[in-house]
Amino acid sequence: MRKSFKKFAAVALSAMMCVGSLAGCSKSAATDQTTGSTTAAPTTETTQAQTTETTQAPTETEPVDVATYSEAPMLAEQVKAGTLKAVDERIPDKDNIYVDTQDAAGTPLTIGNYGGTINILNGGGSWDLARPSLESIIRYNTDGTYYPNVIKSYEHNDDYTVWTFRLREGMKWSDGEDFTADDITFWYYMCHVNNFDSKASWAALKETVGEEEVFAKLTKVDDYTVTWTFQNPKFPADFIENGDFKWCWAPEHYLNDLIPSSYYVENEYYADTGLSDEQVLANAMAKGIDQATVKDLGKQATYYFWNISGIPTLNAFVLSTNPGNSDRSDDLCIMERNPYFWKVDAAGNQLPYVDALHFIKTSEDGQDQLMFRSGELDFIEVAMHDINSILTDLGDKVKLCEFASTNWGSYQITFNYTNTDKNYADLFANKDFRKAISICVDREKVSGLLSDGFLEPGQCAPSEGNIGYDPEWETKWTEYDVEEAKKLLEGCGLKMGSDGFYDFADGSDFILTLYTYTDSGASDAFPVLEQYFNAAGIKCATKDLEVSAFDTEIDNNNWCAVLGPHTEIGGLSLKSRVAPFVPIQQAAEWYGDYGTYYATGGAQGVAPTGDMAKLVELYEQWKATPVTEERDAITLDIYKIHKENMWTIAYLKAESSYSIVSTNIGNYPELLVHDDLYQYGNMIHYWSLYKAQ
Amino acid sequence: MEEKTKNRFWNGIVEFFKKDLVSYIIKRVLMFIPTLFLISILVFFVIQLPPGDYVTAHIAALASEGEYVDANYAADLRADYGLDLPVYQQYIKWIKDIVWTPTDSAYYRLYHSHHNWKYSFAYGRDVWSVVEERLGLTIGVTAVIMIFQYLVSLPIAVYASTHQYSPGDYITSIIGFLGTAIPNFIFAIILMYLSYKWTGNANVGLFTPEMLQNGIHLYNFGDFLKRMIIPIIVIGTSGTCGIIRSVRAQMLDEVAKQYTLTARAKGVPEHTIIMKYCFRAAINPTVSGLGGVLASLFSGSTVTAMVLNMQIQGPVLFKALQAQDMYLAGAIVMVQAVLVVVGVLISDIALAFLDPRIRYSGGGR
């Protein structure tokens, strides 16, 4: 009960904040929001913090006076031995330092102790090392507010055409070199605009002028100030809040001999390096970076830079250079403390507290639990059905922490609206068919069978506390009624065949083939749902494919229906990602080839019609609207269309992610929000975690 | 008399090695070429059989991390990796570069090697560096297990055959059967569970994180041995039963044969009869099975290795196949194929050494 209330509080806060006025624009706006959220959820009063004052260090609810700095014993030893500069010379002064006093949920942080390592499971993905370590331009709280992080402040002019970033003087890269405006111009002109990082597609730094897409103009004002200039207004949602725009820097001093001439784009700051592709690969090799092509090199060294040992970063932890521990595919991959990290705690202790993060690989699911129990991992993610046994066995040695979900329900079914078979396309387009599919299932029973009753019956709709939450939507078409479902199916033109299953009007067989992908857990749900569909006269089948084969079928528009998980529909808000709300990406399940149409500028795919087209229309309006309130109103219109159409049906409410955390880890937050905009686990302030002695 | 027999035997072997063996080995080695060529074609095409390729698998993985890719990305990647070429062209390029990469190629200048096994997409580096990384450990671990298998099973087999239907025979048979009958992965899980229950540590993986960081030294060698217990028991016992049963059965046959009776009648000591004559004949099938041993040294016990989180080659191959990381998978399978071919040759030679009746030049004798 306590848990669910807290969850409500956190998610409520996210919602309020996202719908509410923009954080980070002015002090009064920020104050308003905090008051609003406090009324909504009194338990999280402490979320006052992070006023998002743009010209001050972020965490200054009560100004923290950091008189002197102290450092980890291991660094003090190096200072004493003369191999490292003193801490005062390594990190910014009082006016430029980042003082961390509370976690993303607003809970005050306790002062920790130095030393020890934190052991984490290494999932092996490209982002696994980034979640605990990446420092981005801004940082979010669970309430949706945000504040400058790596940069000291940001501001914009009155018409939003010029954005200014101010940097922290005295801040250094992890190898001790100064971090200055040059690192930003270098990244922009030598890594990004020329697509060396393969991410020139980021929308945050581009705008459409006339028919053409053009990049912003970046100007270095002085060593610690840069400006981004646009010809049209660039609103926060499309710039500072854009989830892709996480960083805008690269270590010029380290990467300048790794930029091939073939990628050079004329600019006022840097001349062509004149290096051939082969020379660049050899230079990279000399630095221990083994890449097959310059394209791979660019992507790895300037986009996935945290995965490459030797590249200086601004993160709290940097990849070890110890052979055997320096690659994310190593069985033990180590990220070590950055001696130049620019954050301190309220007492002036340089962060991070722990000496290193150890990423440990396993080859099978469940091994992480054994290793956690053996004390070789400090926290693990667990499925709901494992929670009780671990808590019972390990008692007060562990605690349960939660990442609340922003998903729209679980056990979702979505249909291919751009099916090439007209019989199916017409049937799926009929709302009554979707209603029949929804009401022919007894959600109470399904909850018991699939989640041991953990997940309550629900629908594909924003869950309580989220933006657009609507109790009517959440219960729409959830009443179990087989007879009504059959009536609806007949109303759709289906005819009962002699085998007891419905056929199309032309006599051809109707089979609802549900695609799932291996390891998604969806194939477990199929037998349960199948019996309900059969009872309603729907013949169904399943196709469980390896995920890449699954994606190929979706991309080729060669599928009938999908039993989730699949590419998201809905989520935190349009600010987080647009594609889950509007059909604008390459074929995703809930909008099929309609998305391809938008993504390819009409060259491929199927032109959306009706309400799908209306979504795209509203999205274009949303993008072009400067006033926050108006944009939020458009957001709600988009939600209304979703509620009306129910393109995806869900049977149960969304599932949170849970972690079991060893209690000797200090400052681990109990409740956060799981979302891409927040970079998932990045919300944990890893630098402030410590191991109690 | 006995001295004379011995000499004749040795002379036979020496003669065999001089005359037959050299030409035999040359012939066999020449046969390697077409065999491996056929295998390589098979490997390359079978790996390509599942729908999609690495790029689709890679994009799916990115999407699962919340990263979206635009329409051209996949096409560009395919072009970069040469995946847009027809399969036969990809194959020709693959084989050509493995056999000989010229000195003036970019690959040679970067890696100083004439054998370009290409690039592992998933690891993002040269295939051979991935294979090499686990090679030593894989061979070391599987060799220890293999030796354990033979050291345990051969004496048991001899004992069981000479004490047929004794309690010892039954007990060792039961243990052997259990080892074979319980699937390795279940046995591994049970042992890990017991280990956790009794010692508080499930001993997952061959190394403690400390060893992975600092390497294995004398001070932590004890810990390493502790971690070897479960793999040795699990993988070791799985093979022992087969060896025990076949050697025991062979032994029982040999013991009942006339030459044994004759030897016994002549008063040859029992242990000489058993060890020198019967045993040598009885391990014949076991030795001919050695052909596969080399290959399984390289990449054996995949399922068990995965359950136990052992850092050896098998799981790498499995992951590579799953992610359609075709050059990595191709390299591992090809190396295995070479080892099988070589292993078969070695076991054939060993057989000839063991059993004078087996000769290769055909006819004559």
Q: Which one is predicted more confidently, A258 or B212?
A: A258
Instruction: Report the percent of chain A where pLDDT is more than 90.
Output: 66
Number of structural domains found in chain B:
1
Q: Collect all residues of chain A within an 8 Å Cβ-Cβ radius of residue B192.
A: 370
A324 vs B: CB within 8 A: yes
pLDDT band at A383 (very low <50, low <70, confident <90, very high): confident
pLDDT at A21 over 60: no
Question: Of A364, A555, A676, which is closest to B306 when you measure between CB atoms?
Answer: A364
User: Is B84 within a domain?
Assistant: no
- A178 exposed, middle or buried (CB, 10 Å; 0-12, 13-18, 19+)? middle
Among residues 74-93 of chain B, which lie with CB inside 8 Å of chain A?
76, 80
Q: Look up residue A365 and give its amino acid.
A: D
* Interface mutation target, options B72, B112, B213, chain A, most CBs of A under 10 Å: B213
pLDDT band at A67 (very low <50, low <70, confident <90, very high): confident
Asked if the Cβ–Cβ distance from A370 to B110 is below 8 Å, we say no
- pLDDT of A78: 96
Asked if the Cβ–Cβ distance from B73 to A331 is below 8 Å, we say no
Instruction: Report the percent of chain A where pLDDT is more than 70.
Output: 91
Distance from CA of A240 to the nearest CA of B (A): 18
Size of interface A-B (CB pairs under 8 A): 133
| Kind of pairing between the strands at A398-405 and A671-674 | parallel
Cβ–Cβ under 8 Å, residues B343 and B293: yes
Distance from CA of B191 to the nearest CA of A (A): 12
pLDDT band at A96 (very low <50, low <70, confident <90, very high): very high
| Kind of pairing between the strands at A117-121 and A356-360 | parallel
* Interface mutation target, options B47, B212, B321, B326, chain A, most CBs of A under 10 Å: B212
Cβ–Cβ under 8 Å, residues B60 and A554: no
Q: Which one is predicted more confidently, A169 or A565?
A: A169
User: Is B231 within a domain?
Assistant: yes
Omega prior to B34 cis, within 30 of 0:
no
Q: Collect all residues of chain A within an 8 Å Cβ-Cβ radius of residue B306.
A: 363-364
Distance from CA of B154 to the nearest CA of A (A): 33
pLDDT band at B74 (very low <50, low <70, confident <90, very high): confident
Distance from CA of A29 to the nearest CA of B (A): 31
pLDDT, one tens digit per residue, over A662-685 is 999 999 999 898 888 898 999 999
Q: Which one is predicted more confidently, B342 or A276?
A: A276
pLDDT band at B114 (very low <50, low <70, confident <90, very high): confident
Distance from CA of B60 to the nearest CA of A (A): 6
Q: Which of B295, B173, B179, B314 is nearest to B236 (CA)?
A: B179
Q: Collect all residues of chain B within an 8 Å Cβ-Cβ radius of residue A577.
A: 68
pLDDT, one tens digit per residue, over A286-315 is 999 988 889 889 999 999 999 999 999 999
**End-to-end CA, chain A:** 32
Residue range A568-595: mean pLDDT, rounded:
86
Residue range B314-329: mean pLDDT, rounded:
87
Distance from CA of A668 to the nearest CA of B (A): 23
Cβ–Cβ under 8 Å, residues A648 and A458: no
Residue range A408-418: mean pLDDT, rounded:
93
pLDDT, one tens digit per residue, over B256-315 is 889 999 999 999 998 888 888 888 888 888 888 777 777 776 666 788 888 888 888 888
Question: Of A292, A327, A367, which is closest to B119 when you measure between CB atoms?
Answer: A292
A519 strand-pairing partners = none
Domain ranges of chain A: 410-652
Instruction: Report the percent of chain B where pLDDT is more than 70.
Output: 91
Token couple for B204: 């997952």
Q: Look up residue A117 and give its amino acid.
A: T
pLDDT band at B342 (very low <50, low <70, confident <90, very high): confident
Distance from CA of A515 to the nearest CA of B (A): 15
Q: Collect all residues of chain B within an 8 Å Cβ-Cβ radius of residue A361.
A: 309
pLDDT band at A567 (very low <50, low <70, confident <90, very high): confident
pLDDT at A35 over 50: no
Q: Collect all residues of chain B within an 8 Å Cβ-Cβ radius of residue A681.
A: none
Question: Of B63, B71, B212, which is closest to A331 when you measure between CB atoms?
Answer: B212
pLDDT band at A57 (very low <50, low <70, confident <90, very high): very low
Distance from CA of B302 to the nearest CA of A (A): 11
B29 vs A: CB within 8 A: no
How far is the C-alpha of A176 from the C-alpha of A91, rounded, in Å? 9
Asked if the Cβ–Cβ distance from A373 to B207 is below 8 Å, we say no
- pLDDT of A11: 52
B313 vs A: CB within 8 A: no
- pLDDT of A683: 94
Residue range A422-451: mean pLDDT, rounded:
94
A546 vs B: CB within 8 A: yes
pLDDT at A24 over 50: no
pTM for the model: 0.83
pLDDT at A352 over 90: yes
A394 vs B: CB within 8 A: no
Residue range A558-570: mean pLDDT, rounded:
88
Asked if the Cβ–Cβ distance from A548 to B324 is below 8 Å, we say yes
- pLDDT of A396: 92
pLDDT at B106 over 90: no
pLDDT at A453 over 80: yes
Tokens 């004490």 — which residue?
B163
* Interface mutation target, options A329, A334, A368, A683, chain B, most CBs of B under 10 Å: A329
B264 vs A: CB within 8 A: no
Using CA atoms in the order A196, B126, A275, A221, what is the torsion angle rounded to 10 degrees? 40
- pLDDT of B306: 86
A309 vs B: CB within 8 A: no
User: Is B82 within a domain?
Assistant: no
Q: Which one is predicted more confidently, A467 or A563?
A: A563
A402 strand-pairing partners = A658, A671
pLDDT, one tens digit per residue, over B141-172 is 888 888 888 888 899 899 998 888 999 899 98
- A517 exposed, middle or buried (CB, 10 Å; 0-12, 13-18, 19+)? buried
A392 vs B: CB within 8 A: no
Residue range B89-118: mean pLDDT, rounded:
85
* A600, containing H or E segment: none
- A73 exposed, middle or buried (CB, 10 Å; 0-12, 13-18, 19+)? exposed
- For chain B, give the longest Cα–Cα distance: 86
Q: Collect all residues of chain B within an 8 Å Cβ-Cβ radius of residue A367.
A: 204, 309
- pLDDT of B3: 59
Omega prior to A323 cis, within 30 of 0:
no
Asked if the Cβ–Cβ distance from B209 to A358 is below 8 Å, we say yes
pLDDT at A45 over 50: no
pLDDT at A38 over 80: no
Asked if the Cβ–Cβ distance from B213 to A586 is below 8 Å, we say no
B110 vs A: CB within 8 A: yes
User: In degrees rounded to 5, what are phi and psi of residue A171?
Assistant: -80, 140
In the predicted model, what is the mean pLDDT of chain B?
A: 83
Q: Which of A8-17, B311-320, B349-358 has the lowest mean pLDDT?
A: A8-17
| Kind of pairing between the strands at A343-345 and A539-545 | unpaired
pLDDT, one tens digit per residue, over A311-331 is 999 999 999 999 889 999 888
User: Is B284 within a domain?
Assistant: yes
pLDDT, one tens digit per residue, over A470-509 is 999 999 999 999 999 999 999 999 999 999 999 999 999 9
Q: Collect all residues of chain B within an 8 Å Cβ-Cβ radius of residue A363.
A: 305-307, 309-310, 315
pLDDT band at A12 (very low <50, low <70, confident <90, very high): low
Q: Which of A270-284, A418-432, B186-200, B339-353 has the lowest mean pLDDT?
A: B339-353
- pLDDT of A270: 96
* A217, containing H or E segment: strand A217-222
Report the chain B residue with the minimal C-alpha distance to residue A283. Answer: B110
pLDDT band at A53 (very low <50, low <70, confident <90, very high): very low
Residue range B77-93: mean pLDDT, rounded:
84
Asked if the Cβ–Cβ distance from A680 to B66 is below 8 Å, we say yes
* B97, containing H or E segment: helix B87-99
Q: Give the class (CATH, top level) of A410-652.
A: alpha beta
pLDDT at A16 over 70: no
- pLDDT of B299: 62
Using CA atoms in the order B346, B347, B349, B351, what is the torsion angle rounded to 10 degrees? 170
Residue range A618-646: mean pLDDT, rounded:
89
Domain that holds residue B297: 133-354
A544 vs B: CB within 8 A: no
Q: Collect all residues of chain A within an 8 Å Cβ-Cβ radius of residue B70.
A: 201, 586, 599
Report the chain A residue with the minimal C-alpha distance to residue B315. Answer: A363
In the predicted model, what is the mean pLDDT of chain A?
A: 87
pLDDT band at B63 (very low <50, low <70, confident <90, very high): confident
- pLDDT of A98: 95
Cβ–Cβ under 8 Å, residues B328 and B320: yes
pLDDT, one tens digit per residue, over B176-226 is 788 778 888 888 889 999 999 998 888 888 888 888 888 888 898 888 888
pLDDT at B41 over 50: yes
CA A567-A461-A525 angle, to 5 degrees, is 60
The domain spanning residue B339 has which CATH number? 1.10.3720.10
Cβ–Cβ under 8 Å, residues B77 and B56: no
